[in-house]
Amino acid sequence: MGQQPIRSARLEARISPEALAVVKRAAEIQGRSVSDFVVAAAQAAAEQTIEGTQILRLSIDDQRAFADLILNPPEPGAAMRRAAAAHRTLIKKSI
């Protein structure tokens, strides 16, 4: 019983001849094929994009303000009290 072969997906893109020349040159510099270079660059850009949405970076002042609000939350305003009352009413109706 051998291992199953690794399957790969196909990705196609149309780019200008000028952009292709730049990509080819960069791939040559790194000693990679154009396909390998493009896949690696796309994956790195995708990971960076995803990371940018998952990590919240705050200045020291903003970190302190955030922690202070968690530790000492303000009293709810009128709109929040109305929303909480509406939520309680909806929950009671659904039970």
Please write the tens of the pLDDT for every residue from 58-87.
999 999 999 999 999 999 999 999 999 999
The model carries a pTM of 0.55
Q: Report the distance separating Cα 12 and Cα 16, nearest Å.
A: 13
CA distance linking residue 63 with residue 83, whole number of Å: 28
Round to whole Å and give the CA distance between 89 and 81.
12
